[in-house]
């Protein structure tokens, strides 16, 4: 193994979210490889809530964390509801899938739990650390981890980029991002209330884009306006007014928020679709949003991150095997990512074309014409 060399580790993973942790858990559970996770945060900041479908449970079981997840006490989600194409709210009930209910996550706690599980399986976990000075050497990589109290020189045999849409590590070794649209989320949390909120997520289309809202485990409600970044920039001086105007056109979202106060300033986060070319290469692979990122409407979030993390871990394991099959596995991985992107783009066009009420509005006209980037 590469880690038999002084000061070396077999696999270094940039990132600490679901994709990164899936890589670490797979490698530690099913191989003898040494693993280091390098996460920029300390999991101290909240993330916009996400609904997890019951279909993700087999992946969590494979990673050895399914039982801990079931015992974590996340709030149940019984349905996904949408007012799309007209004013009527329609529901897809998770209970009728035969897999039970889904969950509304506290993403900070969920991500930290995965990272701690990886550490319990033997992965090294560096928090509040950044990688830099990445350089290829004859049989691996040399790089530096910048920590709060100094720097740590590293050597590894394989790199995994799980840095999300930035994909900065893959770009540092020559990959390029292809951006497919300009979608952003404008998010805030609304204070807890004695008035209960239905245990389901809600999507509602408006002229400016569409809304997502859901209860979170601590009793608050998260609301997110999905719109295009340039439309929002045109209203830079009055983003709250833009947000409020969109909320005024969303009666279902308004009703579930009720009189709850917004607890914090509006936060803007990237939600655009993108792909990475290539998504892997000799001695490295990208996973999760770094490999391919999707419109949240697709529900290809955590489940896809876990799945690609598992596949990227298998690529790393192949690299340390006899090496004869690694090139073929890289090709298969790239083909699989490409197939998912093509299928997703076709589905996305269908989703957006199903909403015809706002066809003349810029956000919707772009998607009907296929001119989003």
Tokens of residue 200, six digits: 């389901």
- Tell whether the model's pLDDT for residue 297 goes beyond 90: no
172 versus 221: the higher-pLDDT residue is 172
pLDDT of residue 286: 98
Going from the C-alpha of 22 to that of each of 60, 70, 94, 293, 323, the distances in angstroms are 9, 17, 24, 17, 23
Distances (CA, A) of 257 to 52, 191, 192, 246, 262: 21, 9, 10, 14, 9
User: β-strands 176-179, 183-190: how paired?
Assistant: unpaired
Q: How confident is the model at residue 359 (pLDDT cuts 50, 70, 90)?
A: very high
Per-residue pLDDT, 193: 78
The rounded distance, in Å, linking the Cα atoms of 24 and 18 is 10
Range scoring the smallest mean pLDDT among 124-133, 294-303, 318-327? 318-327
Average pLDDT of the chain? 89
Given this model, what pLDDT does residue 373 score? 57
CATH label, 76-104+182-271, candidates 3.30.9.100, 3.30.2350.10, 3.20.20.70, 1.10.760.10: 3.30.9.100
Residue 96 has a pLDDT of: 40
Q: How confident is the model at residue 97 (pLDDT cuts 50, 70, 90)?
A: very low
* H/E run at residue 117: helix 107-120
What per-residue confidence (pLDDT) applies to 71?
A: 93
Residues 190-198 have a mean pLDDT of: 79
Distance CA 292, CA 284 (A): 15
User: Which residues, 6 or more positions from 337, have their beta carbon under 8 angstroms from its beta carbon?
Assistant: 275, 279, 291, 292, 308
Alpha helices in 121-224 (DSSP H): 168-172
Domain limits, the chain: 2-50+105-180+272-347, 76-104+182-271
Distance (Å) of CA 127 to CA 35, 145, 172, 193, 229? 14, 10, 21, 34, 31
**Residue-wise pLDDT tens digits, 14-26:** 999 999 999 999 9
213 phi, psi to nearest 5 deg:
-145, 150
The CATH architecture to which 2-50+105-180+272-347 belongs is 3-Layer(bba) Sandwich (3.50)
Q: What are phi and psi of 286, to 5 degrees?
A: -105, 150
């Amino acid at each position: 193994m590469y880690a038999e060399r002084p000061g070396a580790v077999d696999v270094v993973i940039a990132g600490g979210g679901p994709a990164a942790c899936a890589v670490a858990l797979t490698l530690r559970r099913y191989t003898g490889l040494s693993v280091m996770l390098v996460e920029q945060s300390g999991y101290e900041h909240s993330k916009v809530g996400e609904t997890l479908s019951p279909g993700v449970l087999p992946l969590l079981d494979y990673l050895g964390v399914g039982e801990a997840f079931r015992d974590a006490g996340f709030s149940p989600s019984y349905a996904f509801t949408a007012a799309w194409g007209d004013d009527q709210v329609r529901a897809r009930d998770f209970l009728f899938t035969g897999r039970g209910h889904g969950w509304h996550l506290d993403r900070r706690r969920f991500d930290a739990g995965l990272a701690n599980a990886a550490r319990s399986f033997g992965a090294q976990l560096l928090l509040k650390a950044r990688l830099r000075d990445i350089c290829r050497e004859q049989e691996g990589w040399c790089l530096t981890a910048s920590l709060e109290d100094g720097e740590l020189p590293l050597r590894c045999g394989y790199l995994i980029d799980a840095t999300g849409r930035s994909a900065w590590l893959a770009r540092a070794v020559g990959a390029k991002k292809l951006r497919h649209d300009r979608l952003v989320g404008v998010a805030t949390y609304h204070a807890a209330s004695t008035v209960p909120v239905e245990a389901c997520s809600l999507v509602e289309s408006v002229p400016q884009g569409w809304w997502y809202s859901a209860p979170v485990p601590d009793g608050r409600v998260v609301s997110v306006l999905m719109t295009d970044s340039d439309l929002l920039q045109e209203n830079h001086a009055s983003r709250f007014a833009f947000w409020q105007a969109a909320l005024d056109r969303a009666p279902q979202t308004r009703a579930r928020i009720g009189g709850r106060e917004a607890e914090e300033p509006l936060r803007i986060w990237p939600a655009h679709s993108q792909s990475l070319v290539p998504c892997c290469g000799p001695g490295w692979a990208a996973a999760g949003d770094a490999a391919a990122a999707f419109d949240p409407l697709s529900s290809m979030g955590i489940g896809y991150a876990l799945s690609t993390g598992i596949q990227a871990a298998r690529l790393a394991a192949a690299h340390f095997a006899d090496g004869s099959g690694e090139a073929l596995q890289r090709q298969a991985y790239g083909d699989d990512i490409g197939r998912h992107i093509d299928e997703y783009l076709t589905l996305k066009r269908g989703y957006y074309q199903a909403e015809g009420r706002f066809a003349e509005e810029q956000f919707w006209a772009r998607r009907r014409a296929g001119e989003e980037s």
